[in-house]
């Protein structure tokens, strides 16, 4: 086993003065300083009683201190549990109750929310090379045997209660190496990182990929389109993102009178965590002047399963073929070739923490992980994801895949993004669409007429709700399980009129 902090040591030995890390608080580190910061984190955690197999919960938003802590925990043979500081106190308490951390660190210099949580706990202040942190300890936390688990990530809970996904050093090394090679990343690159390191996409495809390649990582605590535009104009070369980030950036630049990105050094841009539709992909590629690469993965697969390597203008909206070393198959395909996606390989998690029953439900004895997503494989070996098994809408006996309806809605020039869900009613399912517009006066009736030209009658939304913003995870991924509660008043008003 190669521990993930070995990458930091390698670059610190070979290129000590090369740029390694910068964040939105103004911290700038070369590889030598980056290594020193990880060793500093190791030392003060060891002083707090942390040892091999202990869990260290890190309540944080993106910053150099969070990066140093993840690698510092690795140096101790402990397990990092990074969680987003924007969670509610009750959510954090639930995670802490499950993983029983020996220490909890709050990156208060970079996150006002982390400070609020820290001030509600029994903490001590620690000044570090990466800014102030606050530390709480639990000496009686239950010990675990040392293992090769590097990180414990709790899922966003889109399909139920959060589960602790155990990712090993091997998982992260594979994901970082594959991501770096896929992008052609080298030591002279700068990767822009607004995706949270508390999420697998940011942790594996940004932080670990940067460490493997020796590239500089520019961390942003919170996504903002003006700051992303500034970074692109200032030399960022690699941009991993989710569709919502691209959509908001393009809306922002349109307001500035910019039709396309200018004078940037960007060389690779990708989109993940949600489907692409052809019209939106074309617009993004015109804007960036680069192919928009797509990918597919999940927390349980250390972010990656498949990825595209397309040229600009390629109409392909699949998620590409499997990554090297990954296997993909379709379980129980229907007449259209659609079934549940399963995968096997070095990217698959070790299991769910303290939940052997949940692990056995998705991971079989041969190493195949059932993803819960629906997809099909085309004649070129590319995977097409059509939705989640639990999101499939059955309307009047017909299957409706929400991504297809969302793609039709997103084709409208005044739609930033949309989310479609089913709602059981009267022995059938309604198709409900929630749309975030570019202009407040977007008319749902006009939008309904727009999609009628591209959707069969049974796929068309029963109701379209134009809303200010959609509930989203820190990555920007839309949290569909919150839509009914968030917009309950609007839905009730529509029901009163007769849906």
Tens digit of each residue's pLDDT (9 = 90 or more) over 389-425? 777 787 866 678 788 899 889 989 999 999 999 887 7
- 280 pLDDT above the threshold of 50: yes
The more confidently predicted of residues 53 and 391 is 53
Q: Which whole number is the average pLDDT over 159-185? A: 91
- 499 pLDDT above the threshold of 70: no
Give the model's pLDDT for residue 48: 96
CATH code reported for the domain at 393-497: 3.30.300.30
Is 98 in contact with 106 (CB distance < 8 Å)?
no
Give strand pairing partners of 136: 104
Give the model's pLDDT for residue 90: 84
- 378 pLDDT above the threshold of 90: yes
Q: How many whole angstroms from its chain centre is CA 450?
A: 31
Give the model's pLDDT for residue 156: 56
Q: How confident is the model at residue 360 (pLDDT cuts 50, 70, 90)?
A: very high
- 158 pLDDT above the threshold of 50: no
Q: Which whole number is the average pLDDT over 354-379? A: 95
d(CA 333, CA 168) in angstroms, rounded, equals: 32
- 274 pLDDT above the threshold of 70: no
Is 400 in contact with 352 (CB distance < 8 Å)?
no
Q: What are the angstrom distances between the C-alpha of 44 and each of 134, 136, 303, 377? A: 11, 12, 30, 50
- Beta-carbon contacts of 27 under 8 Å, excluding residues fewer than 6 positions away, are 21, 63, 64, 65, 130, 131
Q: Which whole number is the average pLDDT over 475-479? A: 77
Decide: helix, strand or coil at residue 392: coil
Give the model's pLDDT for residue 8: 98
Q: Which whole number is the average pLDDT over 66-76? A: 98
Q: Which whole number is the average pLDDT over 293-307? A: 94
pLDDT in tens, 218-248: 999 999 999 999 999 999 999 998 877 888 8
Question: Taking Cα atoms as reference points, which of 157, 219, 205, 217 lies closest to residue 177?
Answer: 205
Q: Which whole number is the average pLDDT over 344-373? A: 96
Q: Which whole number is the average pLDDT over 373-391? A: 89
Is 171 in contact with 347 (CB distance < 8 Å)?
yes
d(CA 278, CA 418) in angstroms, rounded, equals: 15
Mean pLDDT, rounded, of the chain: 92
Decide: helix, strand or coil at residue 410: helix
Is 270 in contact with 309 (CB distance < 8 Å)?
no
Q: Where in the chain is the domain with CATH 3.40.50.12780?
A: 223-388
d(CA 403, CA 371) in angstroms, rounded, equals: 17
Q: How confident is the model at residue 367 (pLDDT cuts 50, 70, 90)?
A: very high
Q: What angle do CA 408, 293, 434 make, to 5 degrees?
A: 30
Give strand pairing partners of 424: 429
Give the model's pLDDT for residue 159: 43
Lookup result for tokens 């950036």: 249
**Six-digit token pair at 360?**
């056995």
Q: Where in the chain is the domain with CATH 3.30.300.30?
A: 393-497
Give the model's pLDDT for residue 395: 80
Q: What is the largest CA-CA distance in the chain?
A: 69
Q: Which of 5-14, 98-107, 425-434 has the lowest mean pLDDT?
A: 425-434
- Beta-carbon contacts of 497 under 8 Å, excluding residues fewer than 6 positions away, are none
pLDDT in tens, 11-46: 999 999 999 999 999 999 999 999 999 999 999 999
Lookup result for tokens 């929310």: 113
d(CA 131, CA 244) in angstroms, rounded, equals: 30
Q: What are the angstrom distances between the C-alpha of 330 and each of 84, 336, 385? A: 33, 12, 11
- 270 pLDDT above the threshold of 90: yes
Outline where DSSP puts E strands in 139-275: 149-154, 164-168, 190-193, 216-219, 238-241, 268-271
Q: Which whole number is the average pLDDT over 364-380? A: 95
Q: Which whole number is the average pLDDT over 260-281? A: 83
Q: How large a percentage of the chain has pLDDT more than 70?
A: 96
Q: Which whole number is the average pLDDT over 40-66? A: 97
pLDDT in tens, 188-213: 999 999 999 999 999 999 999 999 99
- Class of domain 6-169 (CATH, top level): alpha beta
- 475 pLDDT above the threshold of 70: no
* 223-388: CATH, from 3.40.190.10, 3.40.50.1360, 3.40.50.300, 3.40.50.12780: 3.40.50.12780
The pair phi, psi for residue 303, each rounded to 5°, is 85, -45
Q: How large a percentage of the chain has pLDDT more than 90?
A: 73
**Six-digit token pair at 453?**
């030209």
């Amino acid at each position: 086993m190669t521990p993930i902090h070995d990458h930091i040591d390698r670059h610190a030995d070979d290129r000590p003065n090369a740029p390694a890390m910068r964040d939105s608080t103004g911290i700038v580190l070369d590889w030598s300083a980056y290594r020193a910061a990880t060793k500093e984190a190791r030392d003060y955690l060891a002083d707090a009683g942390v040892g091999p197999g202990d869990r260290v919960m890190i309540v944080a938003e993106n910053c150099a201190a969070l990066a140093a802590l993840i690698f510092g925990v690795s140096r101790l043979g402990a397990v990092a549990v990074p969680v987003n500081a924007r969670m509610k106190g009750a959510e954090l308490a639930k995670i802490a109750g499950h993983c029983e951390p020996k220490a909890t660190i709050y990156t208060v210099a970079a996150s006002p929310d982390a400070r609020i949580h820290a001030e509600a706990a029994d903490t001590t202040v620690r000044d570090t090379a990466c800014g102030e942190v606050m530390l709480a300890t639990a000496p009686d936390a239950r010990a675990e045997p040392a293992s090769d688990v590097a990180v414990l990530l709790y899922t966003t809970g889109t399909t139920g209660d959060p589960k602790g996904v155990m990712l090993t050093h091997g998982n992260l090394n594979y994901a970082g190496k594959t991501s770096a090679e896929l992008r052609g990343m080298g030591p002279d690159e700068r990767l822009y990182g607004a995706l949270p390191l508390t999420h697998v996409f940011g942790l594996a495809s940004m932080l670990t990929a940067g460490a493997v390649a020796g590239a500089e990582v520019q961390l942003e605590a919170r996504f903002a389109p003006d700051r992303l535009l500034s970074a692109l104009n200032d030399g960022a070369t690699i941009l991993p993102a989710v569709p919502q980030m691209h959509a908001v950036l393009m809306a922002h630049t349109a307001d500035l009178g910019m039709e396309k990105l200018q004078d940037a050094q960007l060389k690779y841009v990708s989109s993940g965590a949600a489907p692409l539709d052809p019209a939106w992909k074309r617009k993004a590629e015109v804007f960036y002047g680069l192919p928009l690469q797509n990918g597919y993965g999940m927390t349980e697969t250390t972010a990656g399963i498949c990825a595209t390597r397309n040229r600009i203008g390629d109409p392909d909206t699949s998620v590409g073929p499997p990554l090297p070393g990954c296997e993909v198959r379709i379980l129980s395909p229907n007449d259209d070739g659609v079934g549940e996606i399963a995968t096997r390989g070095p990217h698959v998690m070790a299991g769910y923490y303290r939940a052997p029953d949940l692990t056995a439900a998705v991971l079989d004895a041969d190493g195949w992980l059932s993803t819960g997503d629906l997809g099909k494989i085309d004649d070129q070996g590319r995977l097409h994801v059509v939705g989640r098994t639990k999101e499939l809408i059955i309307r009047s006996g017909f299957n409706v895949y929400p991504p297809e309806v969302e793609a039709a809605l997103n084709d409208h020039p005044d739609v930033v993004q949309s989310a479609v869900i089913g709602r059981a009613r009267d022995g059938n399912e309604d198709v409900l669409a929630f749309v975030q517009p570019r202009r407040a006066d977007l008319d749902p009736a006009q939008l309904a007429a727009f999609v009628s030209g591209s959707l069969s009658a049974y796929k068309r939304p029963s109701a379209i709700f134009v809303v200010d913003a959609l509930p989203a995870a820190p990555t920007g991924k839309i949290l569909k399980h919150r839509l009914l509660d968030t917009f309950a008043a609007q839905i009730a008003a529509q029901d009163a009129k007769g849906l």
